[in-house]
Homo-oligomer: A and B are copies of this chain.
Amino acid sequence: MDKKKNISMAVIKRLPKYHRYLSELLKNDVDRISSKELSRKIGFTASQIRQDLNCFGDFGQQGYGYNVKDLYSQISNILGIDREYSMVLLGAGNIGQAIANYTYFEKLGFKLKAIFDINPKLVGIKIRDIEIKDIDTLEGYLKNNAIDIGVLCVPSRSAQRVCDILIKNDVKSIWNFAPVDLIVPEGIHTENVHLSDSLLTLSYLMSHEE
């Protein structure tokens, strides 16, 4: 079923939304759904949905629609959450603590293995049974533990430096909450959550009302 070449970021960015809606449908015991009905729920056109899913294989059947359970499981596979990922979290400030405490990621298969901070007052404290370690021990930790994702919640000024340590020690993906754009070598994935950018989009929309 793998056509995976040349999939645009726009399509990739829509996949988690399909996953979320299908998970809702499953919870509500919906067995199958037409692309028209799925379109009504999810807010993409039926033709968009067909195009998106066609990037990955042949889903759905003329006159039957989609089998919800099958499609959910296929999209989970496509999203790569048929396996576990290990994460370390850097920076146990406000956002860092919130992320560490958010157990939903764990359910999706993203396991938080360790937390690091520079603040001696935080080192030693536990968040969900995970002790906050001194960030000076990060490199040593990474040499002994295979980690997939670094969750970067440190202040802007430290973000690139900590990111470099992660990459040097074989962390291949960075989930970045610091309000900076990281410079990373090819083959490293970054995904930014720039909260203030998002808030500024709202102020733009409010200030340009008719």
Contacts and interface: CB of A to CB of B under 8 A. Distances in A.
Interface of A: 4, 7, 12-13, 15-17, 19-20, 42-43, 78-81, 83, 85, 94-95, 97-99, 101-102, 104-105, 108-110, 148-149, 172-173, 175, 179-181, 187, 189, 191, 193-209
Given A16-B200, A79-B203, A109-B203, 11 more contacts: A7-B208, A15-B200, A80-B206, A94-B98, A98-B98, A104-B196, A105-B195, A105-B196, A108-B196, A191-B199, A191-B201
Nearest to A108: B196
Contacts of A187: 209
A102 B94 contact: yes
A20 B148 CA distance: 29
A80 B16 contact: no
Contacts of A209: 172, 187
